[in-house]
Structure 1
Amino acid sequence: DFYLQKGGDPTAQFAELAHKIRQAVTRRHAERSLVESEKRLADIINFLPDATFAIDTDGKVIAWNRAIEEMTGITAADMLGKGEYEYAVPFYGTRRRILIDLVFEPEKETREHYTGITREKDVLIAETDLPRPRGMRRTLMGKASPLYNRKGRVVGAIESIRDITQKKETEAALQEQNRVLARMNQLSLELAAIRTQENIREFAIKTLVEMTGAIAAWFCDYDAPGHILTISHLEVTPPLLKEATRLLGKLPEDVRTTVSDDLYRKIINSRVLKFSTLTEVSFGEVSPVVSRSIQALAGIDRFYGLAYVIEGNLYGTSVLALKKGQSDPSTELLESFAHIMAVSLSRRSSEERLAASEEKFRTVADYTYGWEYWEDPDRRIIYMSPSCERISGYSAEDFYHIPRLLDSIIDPSDRGAWENHRNEAETTTTALSIDFRIVRKDGGIRWINHICHPVFDTAGHPRGRRASNRDITEKKQKDDELRAAYEQLAASQEELQGQYEELAAGERRIRESEEKFRTFMEASIDGVILFDDHGGILAWNLAAEQIFGIPAGEAIGINIVDLQIRLIVPEHKNPAYVEALRSRFTSSLPELFSRDTPLVIEAEVMNARGHRMIVHQTLFPIRTSSGKRIGCILREITEQRNAEKNLMESEAKYRELAELLPQMVFEMDLGFRVTYANQIALTTMGVADKDLEAGVSALSFIDPSDHERIRQNIEKLFRGETVANPEYTAVRSDGITFPVLIYAAPISRS
Structure 2
Amino acid sequence: MNDTYGLPLILAAWLWKSHVNQCRLEKRLADLRHQNQRLSRMVASLPEPTFAIDNQSRVILWNAAMERLTGVPATAVLGKGDYEYAVPFHGEQRPIMVDLVNHWDDDIAARYSNLLRQDDLLVAETMTHTPHLDERYLRIVVGPLRDESERIIGAIESLQDITYRRISLKVLEGREELLRILVGHMPLAVAMCDRQMKYLYYNQRWISDLGLPDTDHIGRSHYDAMGSTLPDHWKPQHARCLNGETIESQAEPFTRADGRVEWLKRIMHPWRTSDGEVGGIIFLKEVITTLKKAETDLRLMEHVLQNSPVVLFRWLPAENWPMDYVSENVSLFGYSAEALISGEITYATLVHPDDRSRVAREVRQYATGGAHHFQQEYRILTQSGETRWVDDRTVIERDQEGRITHFIGVVIDITERKQAQQEIARRQMFLESLLHHAPDAIITLDDRNRVVDWNPGAQTLFGYTPAEAIGQSLADLVTQGDDELQSVIMQNFQTTISGTRVEPIETVRYHKNGRAVDVIAAGSPIIVDGVLTGVVVMYTDITALKLARTDYDMKRDYDFKQIRVQREYDPAVGPVPCEASKLQQVFLNILKNGAEAMAGVADEEHPPSFTLRVIDDGPWVRVEIENSGPGMNETIRRRIFEPFFTTKPVGEGTGLGLSVSYFIITENHGGTMDVRTSPNKGSCFIIQLPKAGKLS
Same fold (TM over 0.5): no
TM-score (norm 2): 0.31
Bigger helix fraction: 1
Bigger strand fraction: 2
TM-score (norm 1): 0.29
